[in-house]
Amino acid sequence: NAGVMQNPRHLVRRRGQEARLRCSPMKGHSHVYWYRQLPEEGLKFMVYLQKENIIDESGMPKERFSAEFPKEGPSILRIQQVVRGDSAAYFCASSPGTGRTGELFFGEGSRLTVL
Amino acid sequence: GESVGLHLPTLSVQEGDNSIINCAYSNSASDYFIWYKQESGKGPQFIIDIRSNMDKRQGQRVTVLLNKTVKHLSLQIAATQPGDSAVYFCAENTGGGADGLTFGKGTHLIIQP
């Protein structure tokens, strides 16, 4: 039983480049959440997606950030024109149904470093 | 050892002692709470959860207590081991549009030999 799979685990980008982070949820899970974690801080909600739909993106910066969860393939968090402040660990979590009454299962994270 | 006050960023206890990690949650409407453990360089890992219709739940070496009156959550770890060293986060389901979890700041638990 594979857990939530994220890749790449580490990504280095220069300012102005694009970063793409991928997340494959656990088998049977159709709900995906992205969280961002700065060093020594907690996890901040970014976006909640179901297949082909963005349900809640209230935690996502209005510019440069986008997320998708296509019918086939992994969920992707895309950061355009990265800046140093984007350096963080980005965690994906999945659940089989709504997270309101259940646990979220987290991946190991993708650590983005912007030079 | 016991934590002193809420939102203590670091808690240091002797191996074998009990530890208590505290958390104040924000939304009185939250009906589900989870404690996660995060080891260095890894993702959060589920420890124990509790629903708002309960005030106590026990797992293996861990107990979660919920006080809805003061919106306080605590995690008790019995007979701490070196492998318990990690950052511990409480999370609440605040409902609303996010339908996910809102995390607290975390407490770094250090187990001393």
Nearest CA-CA distance, residue A40 and chain B, Å = 9
Q: In this complex, is the C-beta atom of B44 within 8 Å of any C-beta atom belonging to chain A?
A: yes
Q: Are B34 and A103 an interchain contact pair (Cβ–Cβ within 8 Å)? A: yes
Q: In this structure, are residues A90 and A35 in contact, taking their beta carbons and an 8 Å threshold?
A: yes
Task: Tally Cβ neighbours within 10 Å of residue B65.
Answer: 17
Q: In this structure, are residues B36 and A105 in contact, taking their beta carbons and an 8 Å threshold?
A: no
pLDDT band of residue B72 (cuts 50, 70, 90) is very high
Give dist(CA B87, CA B36) in Å, integer: 8
How far is the CA of B108 from the CAs of A92, B36, B49, B86, in angstroms? 22, 12, 19, 6
Q: In this structure, are residues B54 and B65 in contact, taking their beta carbons and an 8 Å threshold?
A: no
SS3 B103: strand
Q: Are A45 and B100 an interchain contact pair (Cβ–Cβ within 8 Å)? A: yes
Is it the case that residue B49 has pLDDT exceeding 70?
yes
Q: In this complex, is the C-beta atom of B42 within 8 Å of any C-beta atom belonging to chain A?
A: yes
Q: In this structure, are residues A62 and A80 in contact, taking their beta carbons and an 8 Å threshold?
A: no
Task: Tally Cβ neighbours within 10 Å of residue A98.
Answer: 15
The predicted structure's pLDDT at residue B7: 47
* CA B46 centroid distance within chain: 10
Nearest to A42 among B34, B46, B106 (CB): B106
Nearest CA-CA distance, residue A94 and chain B, Å = 10
Rg over alpha carbons for chain A, rounded to the nearest Å, is: 13
Chain segment B56-66, per-residue pLDDT in tens? 999 999 999 99
pLDDT band of residue A102 (cuts 50, 70, 90) is low
Give dist(CA B27, CA A87) in Å, integer: 30
Peptide bond into A39 cis (omega under 30): no
Give dist(CA B105, CA B113) in Å, integer: 26
* Higher-scoring residue by pLDDT: B1, A58: A58
Q: Are B100 and A99 an interchain contact pair (Cβ–Cβ within 8 Å)? A: yes
Nearest to A99 among B44, B45, B99 (CB): B99
Q: In this complex, is the C-beta atom of B32 within 8 Å of any C-beta atom belonging to chain A?
A: yes
pLDDT band of residue A96 (cuts 50, 70, 90) is confident
Question: Can you read off the two tokens belonging to residue B59?
Answer: 């797992």
Contact list, A4 vs chain B (CB under 8 Å): 43
The predicted structure's pLDDT at residue B104: 86
Mean of all residue pLDDT scores within chain A: 91
